[in-house]
Structure 1
């Protein structure tokens, strides 16, 4: 695993969401790839830490976790493919 810890993941996640802009979302793998490089051996192990950071930021109201275009009801309990975007109601 690359040396990316939660502070680096948080900074990268928030930067990518901000760069993408209002009304747009990013894939969690974009965060992992930005930190771990293009090879799956580098970014793959970062997917769970990225999810943990995303859940924490969602609970803090700093980002939204979306499934099928809608914010998840419970950040602690969602499955499948998800996207990350700006907080709901913030343009």
Structure 2
């Protein structure tokens, strides 16, 4: 949510950006192991209607393949 707060209201982030931020905050170089944690968090945020998912401008109801994360209510 902090990454989205730093962006324009209609901007999206890549899940790997969240994983990189987690790794950096934890002093780790490899962000890839954090992807499962990011996906789990995204699923919870979608269920709570706090974020929306899309890919190439098309809305997605759930994660399925590549996706971008945006603020809900756009």
| Structure 1 alignment gaps of length 5 or more | 1-13
Q: Which runs of 5+ in 2 are unaligned?
A: none
How far apart in 1 are the matches of 2:36 and 2:10? 25
| Number of residue pairs matched by the alignment | 71
CA distance in 2, matches of 1:79, 1:58: 13
Structure 1 or 2: more helix by fraction: 1
Runs ≥4 in structure 1, deviation > 3 angstroms?
Answer: none
Q: Secondary structure at the match of 2:43?
A: helix
Residue 58 of structure 1 corresponds to which residue in structure 2? 46
TM-score by length of 2: 0.82
TM-score, normalised by the number of residues in structure 1: 0.68
Where is the strand percentage greater, Structure 1 or Structure 2? 2
